[in-house]
Amino acid sequence: MEQIRLGNTGLKVSRLCLGCMTYGSPEWRSWVLDREQSKPFFQAAIEKGITFFDTANVYSIGASEEVTGHWLREFAKREEIVVATKVNGPMGKGANEKGLSRKAIMAQIDASLTRLGMDYVDLYQIHRFDYETPIEETLEALNDVVKAGKARYIGASSMYAWQFAKMLAASDAHGWVRFVSMQPQYNLVYREEEREMLPLCRAEGVGVIPWSPLARGFLAGGRAQPKEGNTERARTDEFSPRLYFREADHQVVDAVTEVAKARGLSNMQVALAWVLRNPAITAPIVGASKLGHIEDAVSALDVKLTDDEVAKLEAPYQPKPVLDHT
């Protein structure tokens, strides 16, 4: 497995990142795998050379961090892996148990470390933009988290490019630790980040670790209508219909299927290979609810698409409104 620098930092991460939202508690979402069911996925990922793992405090309301930490301690040395988590989502009913205030960040980093069973996380990310907190308050708190040794680096996730640029500029002006990564949505049926966010990240030396490179499984095919598919997540997903299922999206899936059949590959391999070929991308975050998903994702690293194949995959795309920045 290739190891690649995360942006302009010296930190090396595997070319693929295992997204850990799938692992935690099925009480949160019916498709989530519990601790014992999750074990083979962490073992397989590490055996395949994946060293980068992404979770969030809000996934299974903390249980994802617990499961992630448990199996990473079982299968890897702390120095060999890169662990990322996030803060912002609601972790309780209290007014200060969510968001990016100083109070929330300081409380949530300690809670995340306790659940992970770790002294520090490698990458601490803000889970979307917080419109109710001044960016200076958030950035100074994150700077203090790093200076306290509780995180090595900080990152951000889906927001408008102007918001990210403003935060980077504020960090530079105050001499605070700046974001080293951005986690946007990016896939063949959602390419709006190509307009401003990806060029901004390349210009600023920020690593890009996109979520949903397979469009929550939509690009795998077999989902003519919402709540269709061969996984529990596909059949119960309330979120995908807000993002995909336009006519042009189905045409993109048809193109993926055509290229995949011609090459003797799966749709997943082709869709992921397309994301990986973008020079702005550091490491796509892939989810896995079946062990074959990890195998397919790793094998996609060796797939090189031709210019003609890329043109066929991209031709049906129709621009969308900006989605899921809140």
CA–CA gap between residue 249 and residue 157 (Å, rounded)? 24
| Terminal C-alpha separation, the chain | 34
Pairing of strands 121-126, 82-87: parallel
Q: Give CA angle at 316 (273, 271), nearest 5°.
A: 15
Catalytic residues: 59
CA–CA gap between residue 20 and residue 92 (Å, rounded)? 21
Q: Which two tokens stand for residue 318?
A: 């129709």
Q: Which two tokens stand for residue 1?
A: 């497995």
Please report the DSSP string for 16-76 in residue order: SEEE-TTBS-TTT-TT-B-HHHHHHHHHHHHHTT--EEE--TTGGGGHHHHHHHHHHHHHS
CA–CA gap between residue 267 and residue 273 (Å, rounded)? 10
